[in-house]
Amino acid sequence: MAHAPAGSSSAPAVWIGTSWKMNKTLAQARAWAEGLRDHLGGRAPDGVQPFVIPSFTATTTVAEVLGPDSPVLLGVQNAHWEDAGAWTGEVSVPQAKDAGAQLVEIGHSERREHFGETVETTRLKVAAALRHGLTPLLCIGESLEVKERGGSAAFILEQAAGALEGLDDSALSRVLIAYEPIWAIGERGRPAEVDELLEPFAALGEACTGKVAGLLYGGSVNLENAAGLLGIEHVSGLFVGRTAWQLEGYLQLLNIAEAHLAA
C-alpha cells in the first residue's frame, strides 16, 4: 500500500484508535489519558493519527486531560440524530461536541444487536455528525452466518452504502469506516486471519479508497497480529478494544503503526 511520506501529508496515513466500550471509572480514564498525554508530549508519531473513545461519562475528563491542542482525537461511542429534544437517555451530537468530542462512533455491532441500530439510524447519525463538523466513524461488519455463506463483501457494502446514501464527495471525504466482522469481535470472537480479510477489503477498497477519510480494521486486534493487519491492502488503521484498554497496549500499537510506516 502506498503511504504518504510521513509527516508531510494532511491526511494521516494510519489511524490507531480505541473504544473503551462500557469500561473505566473517571479515575481510570484520567490515568490512561494522562499517561498518553505525557508519553506523546504534544506530538503523535509522524503519519499516525491516534484517537480515543471513552464512555460518555469520561468525555470531559479525557478532553481536559488531553487539552485543546492534543494530537489525539476524542470521540463518543454513539450520538442521537436529533440536536435536542424529548429523547430520554440519549446524547446529541451538539452535546457531544460541547463536551469535547471530535468524532462519533456509529453503528457498532453491539449497538446494532442490543440497541436496535439499523442502517436507517446509522444514516441519520452519520448525517448529524457531519452537520455539526464531527467525524463519523461508521462501523460495519457481517455475522459468522453471512461469512459462511460467502456473503461478507456484499453485506458490508450494503451497510456502508445505506449509511452513506446521499452524501456528496466532500461529505464522504470526512467519513471514517471501520470494518469489524462480528465473528472477530470481543471475548467471544476469534482473531481474523489476514487471508479472510483480503476479499472484504478489496471490495471496500474498490468502493471507498480515495473517497473516504480512512478504512480501518477492528476485531481482536492484538500486538501479534497488528502489523499483519496494517499490511492488508486498503487498510489505513486499526480500531481496537481490549488490547488498548491498558495504556501499555495502546502505546505498543502506536509503535507498531510507526514501524509500519517506516518500513
Q: Is 180 a catalytic residue?
A: yes
Residue 120: phi and psi, rounded to 5, are -65, -45
Residue 86: phi and psi, rounded to 5, are -85, 75
Q: How far is the CB of 114 from ligand PGA (least distance, A)?
A: 13
* Closest to 75 measured CA to CA, from 136, 16, 121: 136
Q: Is 64 a catalytic residue?
A: no
Calculate the dihedral angle through the C-alpha atoms of 197, 202, 207, 209, rounding to the nearest 10 degrees. 90
Q: How far is the CB of 199 from ligand PGA (least distance, A)?
A: 20
- Tell me which of 59, 135, 220, 225 binds ligand PGA, using CB under 6 A: 220
Q: Is 135 in the site for ligand PGA (CB under 6 A)?
A: no
- Tell me which of 35, 189, 205, 249 binds ligand PGA, using CB under 6 A: 189
Region near ligand PGA per CB under 6 A, out of 68-76, 117-125, 180-188, 224-232? 180-188
Q: How far is the CB of 113 from ligand PGA (least distance, A)?
A: 11
**Number of residues counted as binding ligand PGA (CB under 6 A):** 13
Q: Is 19 in the site for ligand PGA (CB under 6 A)?
A: yes
118: cell is 439499523
The CA distance from 33 to 70, in Å, is 11
Q: Is 175 in the site for ligand PGA (CB under 6 A)?
A: no
Q: Is 186 in the site for ligand PGA (CB under 6 A)?
A: yes
* Closest to 128 measured CA to CA, from 92, 167, 164, 161: 92
Binding to ligand PGA in span 63-92, by CB under 6 A: none
Residue closer to ligand PGA, measured from CB, 151 or 189: 189
Q: Is 240 in the site for ligand PGA (CB under 6 A)?
A: yes
The CA distance from 103 to 94, in Å, is 12
The CA distance from 194 to 205, in Å, is 15
The CA distance from 246 to 131, in Å, is 34
Residue closer to ligand PGA, measured from CB, 19 or 159: 19
The answer for residues whose C-beta is within 8 angstroms of residue 222's C-beta and 6 or more apart is 191, 243
Catalog residues that contact ligand PGA under the rule CB under 6 A.
19, 180, 185-186, 189, 218-221, 239-242
**Which residues have a catalytic role annotated?**
108, 180
